[in-house]
Structure 1
Amino acid sequence: MRIHQDENTAAPQCPFPDAYVGNALNTGLFDFVWVQFYNNPRSGDISNLEDGWKQWTSAIPAHKIFLGLPAAPQAAGSGFIPAADLNSQVLPAIKNSAKYGGVMLWSKYYDDLDGYSSSIKNDV
């Protein structure tokens, strides 16, 4: 997917609604929202993540929502999901959402070290 200059994006924290951009997200002006499902109370627990995903995709009028995750355990304080769990449990539960856009990883540095994106790219 290619983001064009005239498309609006945001990367809020997972707790809903986001304290900083929650009101703006409700305007319907955002095309892509990259929700950070790490370093917050929903981090790491797959059922909490799925509940959070449902909340974001049903309440925010964005075209596509992306699942933001750390690319390695050391990339964030919490929220790392092993690639096998993401592929077998999380992605099958969220990919059927009409708003599913893909996965965002933090950060490229840790992805280069651990190869997380290579482990999930066929399932994303």
Structure 2
Amino acid sequence: MGMHVREAMAALVLTVGPEHTLRQTATLMAERRVGSAVVLDPDSEGVGIITERDVLMAIGRGLDPDTERTGSHLTWDVVYAGPAWTVEAAAAAMVRGGFRHLVVLDGSEVLGVISVRDILRVWTQATDAAA
């Protein structure tokens, strides 16, 4: 019996808007000690995600984090996980898509984010418990 996404995910999701600058978003991520932020665009139905890697890539290309908007650097083709998915199913979806984070949706409500780090933590704890 595997663990479900709802038990492994981070429920305290950092949410930003597409107009936040990259610096604002990076600062919030650092304060919360999270590797991603969910981007909610009031003008669209979509949910996007921006990760520490996206911020790093932009700065690495010489873009100005004080003028660049989060909305230009996020991923809209987000892969979603359901709260009842197994952790194994979430891991398989990450591997297939090359993602490190999945947004957990219940209908249209964002419940959380599950990351590779969350999955590794769960599996490591399970291994320790078994030993």
The TM-score with structure 1 as length reference comes to 0.31
Larger radius of gyration: 2
| Greater helix proportion | 2
TM-score normalised according to structure 2 size: 0.29
Higher relative contact order (CA 8 A, sep 6+): 2
